[in-house]
Structure formats: structure tokens, C-alpha cells
Copies of this chain bind each other. A is one copy, B any other.
Amino acid sequence: MTATESTYRGRARIAEPGEGIGLDELALATRNHGMPLEALRYDVTPPGLHYVLVHYDIPATEAATWELEITGAVERPLRLSLADLTARPSVTSRVLLECAGNGRARYEPRPVSQPWLLEAVGTAEWTGTPLAPLLEEAGVSPRAVDVVFTGADHGVERGVEQDYARGLPLAEAMRPETLLVHAMNGAPLPPQHGAPLRLVVPGWYGMAQVKWLRRIEVLDRPFDGFQNATAYRLKADADDGGVPVTRIRPRALLAPPGWPDFMTRERFVHAGPVPLTGRAWSGRAPLTSVEVSTDGGATWAAAELAPADPAHPFAWRAWRFEWTARPGSAELVVRAADAEGGQPVEQEWNRQGMANNLVQRVPVTVLP
């Protein structure tokens, strides 16, 4: 059964000014989780520290009986077991992923949804087989436009009952880097990361990285399903059709220095040399710089950005800045730029809180 809006309630809502986080947002925050920012220290994020967003429930899946269907506007539909897929040529790729909703919880006003602060990121080693040769074997129609990836997770979103499904332009599906993935960091995919099979499309926000993948359908028209037509769009207001969320915008994050207060997560350091380190990335264009401000954005200085590693073109890059901390209060700010532009220092609001790459601000108390 697919129920309609008359069966289900559900709508997008903007929080009132000053409205605290609700129990519904908290229920998402306690299920899903970000990457604690001290984990920026790891080149490859351990699976349990990598961010997780599950739209509905983590489905119960069985690797032994799993089947992937490739169908739609193809000459020869395919059904493949996991053994069929793991027997094919294998690629391991280090890929930064980020949720399109990262940063949403600090928006003013706040779109009510998964309330990410800044931690919805991670970089893993994904092992799988390239999708393009499979689509070529299936014989994609010359009229093909989009490829729809459907997962096994089932739920309701803003009144629409659905299996999670995302359309991807054919050209992106045919990129050699687009993988059907069965392993993460050298081990079988954990349940929350899509076991036994998921899609990885380097450079795109997380909504494209369909987990628990069981169906690939080639369409000769644009996909108009919920996650493309309604959810993941940059909209000014409720009546705006918006534009699709696609590739990851540039961002730099700082591993907060010193030690934290448990409750406020406020940071403390001692005066003197304090090395600042973190990671930066962009999914749309090569990074060109990372800059640091230690005075809340009044002045900026270049950080040392590690060179791009040809072995890992889709990973994040380390950066470093030597700060001489003087007693008192400081506000650290970092910003990355790529060939298309830099991170905004002032909020650029959109109705669903998507693709927000506002700079990170880290207040620090410097003790004598």
C-alpha cells in the first residue's frame, strides 16, 4: 500500500524565533549522529565516528539473499546477487561525505528537521564496483535522462509514504568514480551505512549516497520523486520550486583546540603556541585556500593546506595554522575557498536548511 497525504499528517515547519529544539528534533539527533570534531584527526574516519543519517529505520537485510535489480529504460534488465557484484572488478576510494543538512540547527530561523550543528561529515574508504560498466551491460536507452536508486528503508515524509529513492543525472551515474559499495574501511558495510550494498557518488551531498540499495531504474524522463522534487532543494520559501541540491560546497572545519567544558563544549587553552588543525574539502571544484581568523573574522591569515593527494582526489585535505594564544577570549573562525568561491561569513538562509556552509566559529578562553 502507498498511502497519501490524507492518511498521513506531516509538513515542513520553520521554528518560531527563540524556539528551543523540540523532542521530535531531539529524537532524530539521538538516533543519527555527527562526527565528534576531534575525529578530524583521523585521515580515515572509523565507522562508528562517521556521521549517520537514516531517514526511516535501518532495515533488516540479509547479504546472502540480497538482490539488486537494474531495470527501466534498458535493453537487458539485470538481477544481481551480492556475490555477483563482489566478483566484479573492485575499486577502493577514499571519499568525504557530508549531509546536505549540515549546519541547519544554527540557522535563524531554524527549519525543523534533523538538527545538525557542524558534525555531519566523515571520510571513509569505500570498496565496490563501478556502476557504469553494469549500466553498459544492461544497455541504457539513448533516451535515458535520470537513474533512480531505491533503498530498502521505508517510511513517511511530509505525508508521503515511500521507500527512500533518489534520481541522479545519467552522466553522474556513468562517472567512473560512481560505485556500488559493499565494504567500508576494509570490512563489510555496517548496518547503518547501508549493509549489504549502497551507492557512493563522490563529490555529492549525502542524499545521493543511497543505502540498502536494491533497485536501479533508468528513466527516459526526469525523476519527480519526493527526495528530488520536494526534499533536497534550495528554496527561498514554501511556494518556491527551488533548485536541486547536488555537489558539496567548500568547507573547512577546525578540531577544537584544548579541552572542553562537558555541558557547554566551550574550549580552554593555555596561552602560548597552540597548533590549530583541521580538514577542508569541496565537492564541486578544487580547493584553493583555507584561512583562519583568531579575532572573530576581523582579520584573516592563510593556513597551510596539505597538497591535493592524487591517490585520494575525493578525500578531505588537512590544514594547519600556528596560533600564538594570548590570555583572554578569542573567537576562532576558519573558511575554505575553491575555484568557484568561498564560504560565507554571514548566513545565506534557505527554507530547508540545505547546503549551508556558513563558517565555523569556536570561542576559546585562553588561560594564563
Binding site for B on A (CB under 8 A): 1, 3, 7-10, 19-34, 36, 38-39, 41-42, 46-50, 52, 54-58, 60, 105-106, 112-113, 115-117, 119, 154-158, 161, 190-193, 256, 259-265, 268, 270, 367
Contacts and interface: CB of A to CB of B under 8 A. Distances in A.
Given A24-B263, A157-B261, 18 more contacts: A9-B261, A10-B264, A19-B20, A21-B21, A23-B117, A30-B33, A38-B57, A39-B191, A41-B60, A42-B191, A49-B191, A56-B262, A57-B259, A155-B259, A157-B263, A158-B262, A158-B263, A161-B259
A276 to B, nearest CB: 15
Given A20-B20, A49-B191, A261 B30 contact: no
Contact of A263 (B42, B113, B154, B268): B113
A56 B268 CA distance: 12
A268 B105 contact: no
A115 to B, nearest CB: 6
A33 B34 CA distance: 8
Nearest to A113: B263
Contact of A46 (B24, B56, B155, B190): B190
How many copies are assembled? 2
Contacts of A21: 20-23, 25-26
A36 B57 contact: yes
27 contacts: A1-B270, A1-B367, A7-B367, A8-B261, A10-B264, A23-B117, A24-B263, A26-B105, A30-B33, A30-B117, A36-B57, A36-B192, A39-B191, A46-B192, A47-B48, A47-B190, A48-B48, A48-B50, A48-B192, A48-B193, A49-B192, A57-B260, A155-B259, A155-B261, A155-B262, A156-B259, A158-B263
A67 to B, nearest CB: 21
A245 B320 CA distance: 43
A154 B259 contact: yes
A191 B36 CA distance: 11
A52 to B, nearest CB: 7
Contact of A29 (B29, B55, B263): B29
